[in-house]
Amino acid sequence: MGVPWKAVGLALVLIGAGSAWQFQDWRYGSQLAEQARLHAETLNQLTLAAAAAHQVEQDKRLALEQRLATSEQTHYRALSDVQRDQGRLRDRLATADLRLSVLLDATTGAGNGSVSATPATGGVVHGPTRAKLDPAHAQRIIGVTDDGDRGLIALQACQAYVRELAR
């Protein structure tokens, strides 16, 4: 019996097809590996770019927080100074060390009975006629001006805060 040529031919065709299959598998495997490597590099670059952008934003936020803290300290110091000055003024009014007075209208006579204009003792008053305020009224006036000063300082602090955020 001889060698069946059909079987040998079939074996050669199958070996050729298997070899081609292996070659294609190796070639596509290399291409997939290269694509996976490029994809990993792209993801790494994107991650580095995102981390850099995050660091920039974090630095901006930190700088803003520092500017706001400085602004807050400045406004707190101004508020403390005003409160201290108002306290001193209230104390001076309470101890009668200081008396508030108001100018009287020159067109109204001092003798109309509405406000008594008493000159300072021991001398002649030069200048416009003044009337001293009752200490309780003076305390209320100081309280109103204290509230106003606090409001203005708070407004300035808010405006500074908004200006810093708008930068």
**Amino acid identity for residue 140 in this structure:** R
Q: Which has the closest alpha carbon to 79: 165, 130, 152?
A: 152
Residue 157's pLDDT is: 86
Strand locations in the chain (E): 101-103, 130-132
95 three-state secondary structure: coil
pTM, two decimal places: 0.49
Q: Are 132 and 101 in contact (CB under 8 A)?
A: yes
In whole angstroms, give the CA distance from residue 77 to residue 116.
Answer: 41
| Range 29-41 average pLDDT | 91
Q: Using one digit for the tens of pLDDT, what is the confidence trace for 79-95?
A: 899 889 888 888 887 77
Q: Which has the closest alpha carbon to 83: 135, 145, 159, 138?
A: 145
Beta partners for residue 103, in sequence order: 130
Which is it for the CA torsion 24, 30, 32, 34, positive or negative? negative
* DSSP code at position 101: E
Q: Using one digit for the tens of pLDDT, what is the confidence trace for 92-129?
A: 877 777 777 777 776 655 445 554 445 445 445 566 77
Residue 120's pLDDT is: 47
Q: 165 Cβ partners below 8 Å, 6+ apart?
A: 64
Residue 125's pLDDT is: 52
Higher pLDDT residue, 79 or 53?
53
Higher pLDDT residue, 66 or 125?
66
Backbone angles phi, psi at 118, to 5 degrees: -100, 125
When pLDDT is cut at 50, 70 and 90, the band that residue 28 belongs to is: confident
Looking at the chain, the whole-number percentage of residues with pLDDT higher than 90 is: 22
Q: Whole-number mean pLDDT of the chain?
A: 82
Residue 131's pLDDT is: 79
Residue 94's pLDDT is: 77
